[in-house]
Amino acid sequence: MAAPLHHPTIDEDVALRPTHLLVDLDALADNLAAIQQRVGVGVGVMPVLKANAYGHGLVPVARLMQRLGVPYLGLAYLEEGIRLRRAGIDTPILILGGILGSQIPLFIQHDLTITASSVDKLLAVEECARTLGRRARVHLKIDTGMERIGVHWYSAQDLLDSSLGLQHVDVEGIFTHLANSDSSDLGHARQQLERFNDVLDFYPRHSLPTPMRHAANSAGVLQLPESWLDMVRPGIMLYGVLPGSTISRTVTVRPALRWTSRVVYFKVVQPDSPVSYGSTWRPSKMTRLVTVPVGYGDGYMRAMSGRAQVGLRGQRYPVVGRICMDQIMVDIGWDSAWNDDEVVLLGRFGDQSLTVEDLAIWAGTIPYEILTNINTRVPRVYSSTRFPDLVAPSPRRS
């Protein structure tokens, strides 16, 4: 009889792979507290956990946010919400993205709040809830200048009128999204808020209670207090990264990620000997290279080739040659390194650090893409002094 297949646990994955992410749950908790302090106790905070919690791990971050008592979680897609429900998360969850009619029963069955972005979709939610004999929750989406999803502010009257006659749907909230709140010129963001407030006037004009209002993303939290309303939706700043290099730093947050690997090979390379695919780099003199088992298959982006640096033994060294799918080569000159030495790809080493912004500059992109591009084949390891029960035991290195 064949032996049963063995499925490695996450801890075993970490023990097997020298490349992993260390996620500091205490930093996330501190960042949430800093955001809450910024907006005040009267404003709710909806952490946005889409895209695998910006690369930090959807379920573990959601468990922390639930422990911290947030009133809502924000996600992009239905499947993210279902995953959290199956993991035991019972905090209210708003799916911020567009929906298909065929998805509505799953929203209702898993108690996920739906973004209603048109009259047709709102009525489809009502009909589905009636058929299932259940109640549905929706937030109405108003497009004030993003041109993505949502009914235009100038034609929102029909959506709001339709929302009044529903028998099986609770209209819990109404929201918009700011396209340029990270700009030094906040003119467009303020115009969006004016348009949104014009839509909201519908409720006092009809002597009706106003649903929960929300508009502010991370940049809105930082530099547009008039956008805070009843609830804010911080995304990237929750993870300790600001949404722009020139944005007002009105909240102090700290990065929660440290990405490391290990040296797996050491060699001496002769002058003018080409390194990696395409032979784009050759040393001008004899040098020492180390190979590190990480590459663009992990999200260490190929566009950083010829620009990236790593931390090793307290020093910065350049990544040379093209970044491969699974490996990079690092030029350490005539310094020393040993197999199993830690290599820092992102985060602190000694008195230095490599930031998400550094990697974004090297890749010619934005910090958001760096974080969300880190592949799920990179194991996540969680640390916390305050929430030890949310941290799985880390494997011991042999």
Catalytic machinery residues: 50, 277
CB proximity list for 109: less than 8 A, separation 6 or greater: 132, 134
Measured over the CA atoms of residue 367, residue 368, residue 373 and residue 375, the dihedral's sign is positive
Please name the residue that has the structure tokens 């530099």: 223
DSSP codes, 139-166:
EEEEESS--SSSEEGGG-HHHHHHHHT-
Give me 289's structure tokens.
């290279």
Cα–Cα distance measured from residue 103 to residue 39, given in angstroms and rounded to the nearest whole number: 34
Query: Cβ–Cβ contacts within 10 Å for residue 312, how many?
Result: 20
Can you give the three-state secondary structure of 203-238, one letter per residue?
A: HHHCCCCCCEEECCCHHHHHHCHHHCCCEECCCHHH
Cα–Cα distance measured from residue 170 to residue 97, given in angstroms and rounded to the nearest whole number: 19
> By the 8 A CB rule, do 288 and 315 touch?
no
- Picking from 246, 157, 227, 138, the residue whose alpha carbon sits closest to that of residue 188 is 227
Phi, psi of 201 (to 5 degrees): -60, -15
Secondary structure E strands in the chain = 20-24, 44-45, 73-75, 93-95, 114-116, 136-143, 151-152, 169-175, 212-214, 231-232, 257-262, 265-269, 287-292, 309-312, 315-320, 328-331, 342-349, 352-354, 380-383
Cα–Cα distance measured from residue 313 to residue 344, given in angstroms and rounded to the nearest whole number: 9
Query: Cβ–Cβ contacts within 10 Å for residue 83, how many?
Result: 17
Please name the residue that has the structure tokens 């992109």: 365
> By the 8 A CB rule, do 202 and 164 touch?
no
> By the 8 A CB rule, do 301 and 370 touch?
yes
